[in-house]
Amino acid sequence: MFKFRKGFYADIRIEDRFTTNISYKNSVAEQCREISEKKAFIRVFDGKMWYYASTDNADNAQEELDNLYAYATPDNDVENNPAIKILETNKDCVMRFENNCVKNVPLEEKRDFVQKTAAKFVSEHCSLVIAHYLDRYSVYEFYSSKGADIKYDFQTSGSVFSMSFANKGENFSDAIQKSGTAFDDVKVSDKEIEEFIKESENVLLNAKKLENPGTYPVVLAPIVTGVFAHESFGHKSEADFMLGDETMAKEWTMGKQVASELLSIVDSGTYDGSGYVPYDDEGTKCNYTYLIKDGVLAGRLHNATTAAYLGEKLTGNARAINCGYEPIVRMTTTVIKGGNSTVEELIAGIKHGYYIKNCKHGSGMSTFTIAPNVAYEIVDGKIGDPVKIAVLTGNVFETLGDIDGVANDETVLTFVTGGCGKMEQFPLNVGMGGPHIRVKKMNVQ
């Protein structure tokens, strides 16, 4: 299909992306659009440097490839470069969503759903309801000079209903999101709406100020566990941080005890939803990679360059946010594996601590952070009043060692808003999740 030249490695990635975006504010339409875009990203490697081109016109990919060759110098031995040698040459076509494609659901039907569902979000304390419906159907193609020839599709669909509450100078906002891989997955039941509003009103009217910031035991709900896994350890597992760094290579030796033996974390593109990546953007088939198994360092995430540098296997984690960028090492769906305890047992073991039900965002370096949105005090082993907490922090490795309870309710979550950021590339669709976990101590502020 494409004409590749000798003396270079080259690949071409094409994405044909369809998206729908519908939003309503207080039952008035704000946005209602469908967009289709087809773009391409081309890479050429000459054994010394990579040359990349991004184009809005995928039909011009061959011309862009030919132009890019002009920057590079041919090397007849390029195929023996370690990073090129290990690249896979898969030939596959994985079209899972053609028969259930969101493109085929009429815009009118999507709009009616948003409008009718949004009308159910009513509270005497709420004066702003924002409703979103978002979907995406992408068809990816990947071709390489080594012979890779891959086509697959990807689909997500979701609804988000956010409410802003106010009462006597106090305010509070929260949202309920339902996401999946088909239009039917976005529906929100009346019971879910009722419970969401009831809890939000309780937080608005009864949340206490955090009287004594300090160190406390905490229980994290699955969404917060997912953010914690992603921020605290997922980013540290991205092996591009280890390039040219002997200290890191020694520090991160496989088999080293890095966490409580209750903890196992995996990353895999096989999970359905926002982190579904059957083939990465270098054409590598997805894997199921244990990052930590029973507290022991078991793996890390690679693109071809990092895998070749460290002499490890490819994992399928070379990803770009779109055809404007080159693939770099990124997570797919990162999950803390479930344990044997019940949620009640985790909470019952706490004299005074906090239950973090959901959060606005998180970050992770040597210290990780989580900004709770809904949190409760735990007193004498029982959930108490809602409480206002700005941020939870902790040293990553101390906290991984301080996990002393893992529940049996592992939940994998998919999203249609937000995403992962790494340097210039934001947002990347990822999945995350886990069970309820208990941490002996975290800094609560």
Per CB under 8 A, contacts with other proteins among 253-312 are none
Interface with other proteins (CB under 8 A), residue from 149, 391, 410, 419? 391
What's the one-letter identity of residue 46? D
Q: Please say whether the beta carbons of 208 and 385 come within 8 A.
A: yes
Interface with other proteins (CB under 8 A), residue from 94, 193, 205, 248? 248
CA count, 13 A, side-chain hemisphere, 211: 6
Encoded one letter per residue, x for contact with other proteins by CB under 8 A and - for no contact, window 343-382 reads: -----------------xxxxxxxxxxxx-----------
DSSP string, 276-297: --SB-TTSPBP-EEEEEETTEE
CA distance 97 to 16: 14
- 7-66: which residues touch other proteins (CB under 8 A)? 21, 25, 28-33, 35, 37, 39, 49-57
Segment contacting other proteins (CB under 8 A): 133-141, 167-175, 179-187, 336-344? 167-175
CA distance 427 to 228: 18
Name the minimum Å distance from CB 159 to other proteins.
18
Residue in 27, 23, 31, 56 with CA at minimum distance from that of residue 41: 56
Total residues contacting other proteins by CB under 8 A comes to: 74
- 395-434: which residues touch other proteins (CB under 8 A)? 395, 423-424
Name the minimum Å distance from CB 211 to other proteins.
12
The tokens for 233 are 């350890």
Using CB under 8 A as the binding rule, whether residue 110 contacts other proteins is answered as no
Segment contacting other proteins (CB under 8 A): 142-150, 175-183, 217-225, 319-327? 319-327
Name the minimum Å distance from CB 200 to other proteins.
12
- 194-213: which residues touch other proteins (CB under 8 A)? 209, 213
CA distance 442 to 228: 12
Name the minimum Å distance from CB 166 to other proteins.
4
Residue 191: CB atoms within 10 A of its CB come to 8
Using CB under 8 A as the binding rule, whether residue 119 contacts other proteins is answered as no
CA distance 422 to 427: 8
Give Cα 440 to chain centroid, integer Å: 26
Nearer to other proteins, 154 or 165 (CB): 165
